[in-house]
Structure 1
Amino acid sequence: MLLLPNVGLSAAAIAKLAQWQAEVDSQLNYPAQVEAAKAKFKQQNTRQNGTFQAVKVALTSMCSGARRCVYCEDSVADEVEHMAPKDLYPDKVFGWGNYVYACGPCNGPKNNKFGVIDAAGALVDVTRKPRGPVVPPLVGLPALINPRVDNPSNFFDLDLLGTFVLDVKEHLLASDFVRAEFTRDVLDLNRDVLLKARANAYGSYRARLFEYRQKRNGHASAEELAALVAGLKAMPHPTVFSEMKRLHAAIPDLSPIFGSVPEALQW
Structure 2
Amino acid sequence: MIRLPQQNLPKNAQNQLNTWQNEINGLKDYAARVAQAKKAFAQRNKPKNSTFRQVRQTLTQMCCAARRCGYCEDSVADEVEHIKPKDLYPEAVFVWENYLYACGQCNGGKNNKYAVFSDKTGQLREIARRRGAPVVEPEQGEPVLIDPRKEDPMDFLEIDLIDTFYFLPRYSLDSKGYQRADYTIEVLRLNDRDYLVEARKEAFYNYRARLGEYIKKKETDTPSEQLNPMITALQRMQHPTIWKEMQRQQQLLPELKKLFELAPEALTW
Is 1:38 aligned with 2:38? yes
Q: Distance in 2 between matches of 1:133 and 1:178?
A: 28
TM superposition shift of 1:173: 6.9
Q: Distance in 2 between matches of 1:176 and 1:137?
A: 22
In the alignment, residue 44 of structure 2 is paired with which amino acid? Q
Partner of 1:198: 200
Q: Distance in 2 between matches of 1:176 and 1:256?
A: 32
Partner of 1:235: 237
Partner of 2:170: 169
Contact 1:3 1:147 in 2 (8 A): yes
Is 1:160 aligned with 2:158? no
**TM-score when normalising by structure 1:** 0.97
Structure 1, unaligned stretches of length 5 or more? none
Partner of 1:262: 264
Contact 1:121 1:174 in 2 (8 A): no
Alignment of 1:35-114 (within 5 A): 35-114=35-114
Contact 2:37 2:90 in 1 (8 A): yes
TM superposition shift of 1:176: 2.0
Moved more, 257-266 or 209-218: 209-218
Contact 1:145 1:152 in 2 (8 A): yes
Provide the secondary structure at the position in 1 that maps to 2:59. helix
Q: 1:15 to 1:121 in 2, by over 3 A?
A: same
In the alignment, residue 208 of structure 1 is paired with which amino acid? R
Q: Distance in 2 between matches of 1:62 and 1:177?
A: 27
TM superposition shift of 1:65: 0.7
Partner of 1:187: 188
Partner of 1:139: 140
% identical equivalent positions: 46
Provide the secondary structure at the position in 2 that maps to 1:253. helix
Structure 2, unaligned stretches of length 5 or more? none
Partner of 2:179: 178
TM superposition shift of 1:172: 7.1
Q: What CA deviation, in whole Å up to 9, does each residue of 1:102-161 have, x standing for no partner? A: 111111110011111113331111100000000010010011110111111111110000
Q: Distance in 1 between matches of 2:199 and 2:46?
A: 31
Contact 1:2 1:147 in 2 (8 A): yes
TM superposition shift of 1:48: 0.8
Q: Distance in 1 between matches of 2:47 and 2:186?
A: 32
Contact 1:110 1:186 in 2 (8 A): yes
Moved more, 186-195 or 168-177: 168-177
Partner of 1:23: 23
Q: What CA deviation, in whole Å up to 9, does each residue of 1:191-225 have, x standing for no partner? A: 21111000000000011001111122222232211
Q: Distance in 1 between matches of 2:174 and 2:74?
A: 29
Q: Distance in 2 between matches of 1:173 and 1:53?
A: 44
Contact 2:171 2:177 in 1 (8 A): no
Q: Distance in 1 between matches of 2:43 and 2:212?
A: 49
Contact 1:122 1:175 in 2 (8 A): no
Q: Distance in 2 between matches of 1:96 and 1:79?
A: 14
Contact 1:121 1:175 in 2 (8 A): no
TM superposition shift of 1:8: 1.1
Q: What CA deviation, in whole Å up to 9, does each residue of 1:62-119 have, x standing for no partner? A: 2111111111111111100000000010010000010011111111110011111113
Provide the secondary structure at the position in 2 that maps to 1:211. helix
Q: Distance in 1 between matches of 2:225 and 2:37?
A: 49
Is 1:244 aligned with 2:246? yes
Q: Distance in 1 between matches of 2:147 and 2:139?
A: 18
Cα RMSD after superposing both structures: 1.2
Q: Distance in 2 between matches of 1:50 and 1:218?
A: 51
Q: Distance in 1 between matches of 2:105 and 2:185?
A: 14
**TM-score when normalising by structure 2:** 0.96
